[in-house]
């Protein structure tokens, strides 16, 4: 596995085509190759992961107003997911940012995808900053069509150690699950949990109405907690966010 910056126009077109295939956008670009080329030319982050000579992952980022790096999109070819490509891209991104004197990277992710929540919050050690309802508005790609684009915004402080995975066995649920269904609970004084479905991607394909119910239930729970001063402090191995007050 090799990760490298992309600099020439041909590589940008290849990366754009890969991202289109991952998200199932057809002729509509996730990030068009011209934009990638311009971003890279003026010093932003455009990189690809290769298995031999085959491009299997791509990542595009740009600098925020305060100077930290914002990672806009990172995609892995479906047949290479779960094989460490995403981790390799993020570690390359980390080294790239640190080499330029930047000590933080931000991005957003779908709060309903458990593997991403665990990877972001505990494998890497990013901090959840804010829950953002319908952040991108209506999306038409094959991954996101038909469901609101709620996201969690995270900030990865590159020199911090990842936090331990929380034990939530004794926590009261603000949102629980019964089979595939969300079950509202209650917010308590110190800490509560918000469950998500075990496999939202399969649920979107098999029961899209229930997938939408989950989106709205998680949104309601997260926004309620956020408005009362709670924030996400971890994600359990069984798919529950820990929300704590005053931390």
Where does the pLDDT of residue 182 fall: very low under 50, low under 70, confident under 90, or very high at 90 and above?
A: very high
Residue 163 lies in a domain: no
Which two structure tokens, joined as six digits, stand for 53?
A: 């000579």
Strands of the chain, DSSP E: 2-5, 45-51, 54-63, 69-76, 104-109, 127-132, 151-157, 172-178, 181-184, 191-195, 230-235, 240-245
- Indicate the average pLDDT of the chain: 94
In this structure, are strands 172-178 and 151-157 parallel, antiparallel, or unpaired? Answer: unpaired
**Which residues, at least 6 apart from 1, have a Cβ–Cβ distance to it below 8 Å?**
49, 50, 51, 84, 85, 88
Assess whether 145 and 241 both reside in one domain: no
Residue 162 lies in a domain: no
229-to-120, 124, 128, 223 alpha-carbon distances in Å: 22, 25, 13, 10
How many domains are there within the chain? 2
Assess whether 176 and 234 both reside in one domain: yes
DSSP code at position 62: E
Q: Which of 157, 183, 212 is the last residue of a domain?
A: 157
CA nearest to 46, candidates 4, 95, 104: 4
Residue 8 sits in a domain whose CATH number is 3.40.630.30
pLDDT, residue 189, reads 73
Query: Residue with structure tokens 């704590």?
Result: 244
Assess whether 20 and 72 both reside in one domain: yes
Assess whether 45 and 120 both reside in one domain: yes
Q: Which domain holds residue 215?
A: 172-245
**Pairwise CA distance, residues 60 & 22, whole Å:** 14
pTM, to two decimals:
0.94
Residue 166 lies in a domain: no
pLDDT, residue 59, reads 98
pLDDT, residue 9, reads 96
């Amino acid at each position: 596995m090799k990760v490298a910056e992309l600099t020439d126009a041909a590589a940008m077109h290849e990366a754009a085509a890969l991202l289109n295939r991952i998200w199932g956008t057809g002729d509509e670009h996730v990030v068009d190759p011209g934009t990638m080329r311009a971003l890279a030319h003026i010093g932003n982050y455009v990189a690809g992961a290769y298995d031999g000579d085959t491009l299997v992952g791509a990542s595009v980022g740009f600098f925020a107003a305060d100077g930290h790096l914002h990672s806009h999109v990172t995609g892995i070819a479906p047949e290479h997911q779960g094989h460490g490509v995403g981790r390799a891209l993020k570690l390359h991104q980390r080294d790239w940012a640190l080499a330029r004197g930047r000590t933080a990277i931000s991005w957003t992710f779908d709060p309903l995808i458990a593997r991403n929540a665990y990877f972001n919050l505990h494998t890497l050690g990013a901090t959840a900053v804010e829950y953002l309802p319908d952040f991108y508005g209506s999306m038409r790609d094959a991954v996101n069509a038909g469901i609101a684009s709620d996201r969690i915004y995270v900030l990865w402080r590159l020199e911090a150690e990842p936090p331990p995975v929380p034990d939530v066995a004794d926590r009261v649920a603000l949102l629980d699950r019964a089979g595939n269904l969300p079950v509202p609970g209650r917010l308590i004084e110190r800490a509560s949990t918000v469950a998500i479905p075990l496999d939202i991607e399969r649920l979107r394909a098999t029961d899209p109405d229930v997938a939408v119910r989950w989106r709205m239930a998680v949104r309601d729970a997260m926004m309620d907690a956020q408005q009362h001063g709670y924030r996400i402090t971890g994600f359990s191995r069984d798919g529950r966010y820990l929300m704590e007050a005053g931390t």
